[in-house]
Amino acid sequence: MKQVYFDNAATTPMRDAVIERMADVMRLQYGNASSTHGVGRSAKSLMETSRKTIASFLNVHASEIVFTAGGTEADNLVLRSAVRDLGVTEIITSKLEHHAVLYTVEHLQKQYPITVTYVKVLENGAVDINDLERLLQSSNKKLVSLMHINNEIGNKLDIQKVATLCKANKALFHSDTVQSVGHYDLDLQAIPIDFLAASAHKFHGPKGVGFAFIRKGSGIKASIFGGEQERGYRAGTEAIHNIVGMEEALKLSYANLETERSHILELKTYFIVQLKALSPGMSFNGGCENSEESTYTLINVCLPIAVEKGGMLHFQLDLKGIACSKGSACQSGSNQNSHVLSEILSADNLLKPSVRFSFSSFNSKAEVDYVIEVLREFI
Q: Which residues are catalytic?
A: 330
Rounded to 10°, the helix 257-278/365-378 angle is: 20
The burial class, CB within 10 Å (0-12 / 13-18 / 19+), for 89 is middle
Nearest to 300 by CA among 147, 71, 176, 125: 125
Helix ranges, 16-125 (H) = 16-28, 38-58, 71-84, 99-111
Backbone phi, then psi, for 117, in 5-degree steps? -120, 135
Distance from C-alpha of 245 to C-alpha of 248, rounded to nearest angstrom? 5
Residues in CB range of 354: below 8 A, 6 or more apart:
285, 300, 301, 302, 303, 326, 327, 338, 341, 345
Task: Tally helices (H) and strands (E) across the chain.
Answer: 13, 12
Nearest to 200 by CA among 67, 46, 29, 328: 67
Task: Enter the DSSP assignment of 330.
Answer: G
DSSP 191-204: S--SEEEEEGGGTT
Residues in CB range of 364: below 8 A, 6 or more apart:
267
Q: Side chain identity at 28, as an amino acid letter?
A: L
Distance from C-alpha of 377 to C-alpha of 250, rounded to nearest angstrom? 39
